[in-house]
Chain A
Amino acid sequence: MHFCYYGTESAAVWWNDSYTIPAAKHSVSLTDDHPLERIQKMASANAVVIFSISTCCMCHAVKRLFSGMGVSPTVHEIDQDPTRQADLETALLRLLGGGSSPVPAVFIGGKLVGSMDSVMASHISGTLVPLLKQAGALWL
């Protein structure tokens, strides 16, 4: 399992390129059912993946941003399965490095880009489009 991301430092404690899980040492057992594992699986499945809540207006904004660029992201509304929502929210919040909201959380090419501010900063600085092209979400 190899989950790199493109974001904050605190998540780097969890995930980096050379991270391996010594079976006995770690208190966290990353089974298939673990939220982080599930997130990673969902994030790697498509070029652009957005974790969202159906009533969240900032999530709506980030979806509009991508569709405005001609990108069709895969959206996971985590409130669709209320039994798992809380776990996913905690996990996403941790991945985003704290902050006010677990959603929206944007992954491109399996890598975490971040929330709305990171996505906008990346777009303004011109790094978002190359990233999208690299992931196959955008063509010339």
Chain B
Amino acid sequence: MFPSWPIRFHHHTPVVGSSKSGGGGGGGEESTDSGSAANTLSTTVPESPVSTKPSSSDHHHLQPPQMDGAGGFSQSHQTAGRQTPEKTLRRLAQNREAARKSRLRKKAYVQQLESSRIRLTQLEQDLHRARSQGIFLGGGGVAGGSISSGGAIFDMEYARWLDEDLRHMSELRTAVQAHLTDGDLRVIVDAYISHYDEIFRLKGVAAKSDVFHLITGMWATPAERCFLWMGGFRPSDLIKMLISQLDPLTEQQIMGIYGLQQTSQQAEDALSQGLEQLQQSLIDTIANGSINDSMHHMAVALGKLANLEGFVRQADNLRQQTLHQLRRILTVRQAARCFLVIGEYYGRLRALSSLWASRPREALQMADDNSCQTTTDLHMVQSSQNQFSNF
């Protein structure tokens, strides 16, 4: 792609007696018929009629000093006789030249990567859009790392739901600060509950078309995925978090909240054990499939996999019931503040994911200097990543 020889060597393609040069071979002729674009650089100095094979020490005498930017072509090499310093100087110059070429190549490559990346994300967006519109054509899941149409649709709806969530949160915040009447506040609080009901409904639809997308948490941010339980948040974790954050509660409310923590924990354990049994059953089916009977075993395994949808549905049902029960236990004002806490909490978790993704990694950025610096930088990155993994 890039000439590995310094450009000046193009001047020395053989012209003496060469049939390539067409009429008249012979000396004094510029090697313009080599066709190299580099020859445009050498317009001034005619070649001497000597052997054009580049000799070791003195060919660069003939070299027109037109190379710029390399910073090395001083005129001092015209003094004859001192081969060693000339050799050294030539070597240094060649090194500088090679380094410069290398930098230019790297720069071009990086630019190519950047533009390819932009093109790729644009293509992916187009593909998602096309797939989601194509769902009525019976678009099913695509194998491998690509997203299915059901998953893509859910991601879009979830993104819309997140925007809605921000709107609800600001409405709640304003309402709490404005000291509205209980009646007015109730409307806003109930609207927030319906907002959550909506995402559970959407997840139910998504579970039918792509339960794996939900259960692996690909729709959620990495930090949320870390705490994922059966395709969503763990209700008892939410209650535990809220216990420390809620307003002073009455005795009865405290009993209610702790009761809710206990019942949600029990329900979670039951569902987890059911899912474990499903997984074990699936493992047995897959492991015991014989070659003769493989299609049958695959069919059985598929049937078992279908039960995953039921578990994700029940888990979402549990989440929904937990939120409704919270609403019942708390007063309107307490519920408003409670939902603000919940929204704030998940907002922070999502922000944490973004911060993590964009955390400073200047060591990985290509420096404009010598490429050998990159190796040391990679070592630095590896050691700092080890620090994070111990976290």
Question: CB within 8 Å of B: which residues of A?
Answer: 55, 57-58, 60-62, 64-65, 68-69, 100-101, 116-117, 120-121, 123-126
Residues of B within 8 Å of A60, CB to CB, are 273-274, 277
| B284 nearest CB across to chain A (Å) | 11
Q: A61-B277, A120-B267, A124-B264 are in contact. List 17 more A-B contacts (CB 8 A).
A: A57-B275, A57-B277, A57-B311, A58-B310, A60-B274, A62-B274, A64-B269, A117-B314, A120-B317, A120-B318, A124-B260, A124-B318, A124-B322, A124-B324, A124-B325, A125-B321, A125-B328
Contact of B273 among A61, A69, A124 (CB under 8 A): A61
- What separation, in Å, do the CA atoms of A120 and B278 have in the docked complex? 19
- Asked if residues B266 and A57 are in contact (CB atoms below 8 Å), the reply is no
Contact of A126 among B259, B278, B281 (CB under 8 A): B259
| With known contacts A58-B310, A126-B259, A68–B269 Cβ distance under 8 A | yes
Contact of A125 among B269, B270, B325 (CB under 8 A): B325
Contact of B270 among A61, A101, A121, A124 (CB under 8 A): A61
Pair count A-B, CB < 8 A: 71
Is B181 an interface residue when CB atoms closer than 8 A count as contact? no
22 contacts across the A-B interface (CB closer than 8 A): A57-B281, A57-B307, A57-B311, A58-B274, A61-B274, A61-B275, A61-B311, A61-B314, A64-B270, A65-B270, A68-B266, A68-B270, A117-B317, A120-B267, A120-B317, A123-B263, A124-B264, A124-B267, A124-B325, A125-B321, A125-B324, A126-B263
| With known contacts A61-B270, A125-B328, A120–B314 Cβ distance under 8 A | yes
Residues of A within 8 Å of B307, CB to CB, are 57-58
| B288 nearest CB across to chain A (Å) | 15
| A88 nearest CB across to chain B (Å) | 20
- Asked if residues A65 and B266 are in contact (CB atoms below 8 Å), the reply is yes
| With known contacts A58-B314, A101-B310, A125-B328, A64–B274 Cβ distance under 8 A | yes
Residues of A within 8 Å of B249, CB to CB, are none
- Asked if residues A121 and B321 are in contact (CB atoms below 8 Å), the reply is yes
- Asked if residues A124 and B278 are in contact (CB atoms below 8 Å), the reply is no
Is B93 an interface residue when CB atoms closer than 8 A count as contact? no
Residues of B within 8 Å of A55, CB to CB, are 281
| With known contacts A101-B310, A117-B314, A120-B318, A64–B259 Cβ distance under 8 A | no
| B335 nearest CB across to chain A (Å) | 16
- What separation, in Å, do the CA atoms of A69 and B265 have in the docked complex? 11
Closest to B266 in A: A68
Residues of B within 8 Å of A57, CB to CB, are 274-275, 277-278, 281, 307, 311
B 314-344 to A, binary, CB cutoff 8 A, 1 in contact else 0: 1001100110110010000000000000000
- Asked if residues A100 and B310 are in contact (CB atoms below 8 Å), the reply is yes
Residues of A within 8 Å of B325, CB to CB, are 124-126
Residues of B within 8 Å of A68, CB to CB, are 266, 269-270
- What separation, in Å, do the CA atoms of A125 and B321 have in the docked complex? 8
| A99 nearest CB across to chain B (Å) | 10
Counting chain B CB atoms within 10 Å of each CB, the highest count among A57, A68, A116 belongs to: A57
- What separation, in Å, do the CA atoms of A119 and B99 have in the docked complex? 73
Is B271 an interface residue when CB atoms closer than 8 A count as contact? yes
| B161 nearest CB across to chain A (Å) | 22
Residues of B within 8 Å of A58, CB to CB, are 274, 307, 310-311, 314
For window 188-229 of chain B, which residues contact chain A by CB distance below 8 Å?
none
Contact of A64 among B256, B273, B317, B318 (CB under 8 A): B273
Residues of A within 8 Å of B278, CB to CB, are 57
Closest to A56 in B: B307
- What separation, in Å, do the CA atoms of A22 and B32 have in the docked complex? 114
- What separation, in Å, do the CA atoms of A121 and B324 have in the docked complex? 10
- What separation, in Å, do the CA atoms of A120 and B321 have in the docked complex? 8
Residues of A within 8 Å of B274, CB to CB, are 57-58, 60-62, 64
For window 264-322 of chain B, which residues contact chain A by CB distance below 8 Å?
264, 266-267, 269-271, 273-275, 277-278, 281, 307, 310-311, 313-314, 317-318, 321-322
- What separation, in Å, do the CA atoms of A61 and B267 have in the docked complex? 9
- What separation, in Å, do the CA atoms of A123 and B260 have in the docked complex? 9
| A58 nearest CB across to chain B (Å) | 6
- What separation, in Å, do the CA atoms of A1 and B58 have in the docked complex? 118
Residues of B within 8 Å of A126, CB to CB, are 256, 259, 263, 325
- Asked if residues A124 and B321 are in contact (CB atoms below 8 Å), the reply is yes
| B128 nearest CB across to chain A (Å) | 30
- What separation, in Å, do the CA atoms of A85 and B177 have in the docked complex? 60
Contact of B271 among A61, A100, A101, A121 (CB under 8 A): A61
Residues of B within 8 Å of A62, CB to CB, are 270, 274
For window 368-387 of chain B, which residues contact chain A by CB distance below 8 Å?
none
User: What 10 pairs across the A-B complex have the smallest Cβ distances?
Assistant: A61-B274, A65-B270, A57-B278, A124-B321, A64-B270, A64-B273, A57-B277, A61-B270, A60-B277, A57-B274
- What separation, in Å, do the CA atoms of A100 and B204 have in the docked complex? 13
